[in-house]
Amino acid sequence: MKTDFLIIPECFVDTILVEALVPPDNREGYNHQMGCNKVRPKSPAIETFLLKVAESVKINPNEFGIPNSLKELKSVTKKRTSKNNPNLKNFIKALKNKNTPQFVTLSNWISYLKENTFHSNLEEIKNIQ
């Protein structure tokens, strides 16, 4: 059963991250929610996550043409064009290639959820590293 349509990233930058960590089985990619920009979380989780991981592995986002401030990064990631932004994709791939514990765990969570669609177990997810 194809499960790529069941993975629904919240925003374009989430889609890029998910596709970098767990490449989809189809050419279209994962099912992106077109209305994601209508929901504005108090804390921009994905952008904060990316900047913290970059800092932990000493990768400067500016070297990829990506802003290193949260406010400026959000202005890049919240645009529809960000899904096709090669600088953003290269930045995320560089972070992925560092095999940080954060990226490994996130990748494992996504893989687990993809493989266990409708049958996931919260206790199993808590134990995934």
What's the pLDDT score for residue 124?
Answer: 87
Measuring CA to CA, which residue among 10, 11, 4 is closest to residue 30?
4
Burial of 70 (0-12, 13-18, 19+ CB in 10 A): middle
Q: Any residues with CB less than 8 A from the CB of 35 and at least 6 apart, and which? A: none
What's the pLDDT score for residue 9?
Answer: 55
The stretches in the chain having pLDDT less than 70 are 1-13, 26-44
Q: What is the CA radius of gyration of the chain?
A: 15
What's the pLDDT score for residue 10?
Answer: 56
d(CA 80, CA 68): 20
H-helix segments, the chain: 12-21, 45-56, 70-77, 86-97, 101-115, 122-126
What's the pLDDT score for residue 44?
Answer: 67
Give the end-to-end CA distance of the chain in Å, rounded to a whole number: 26
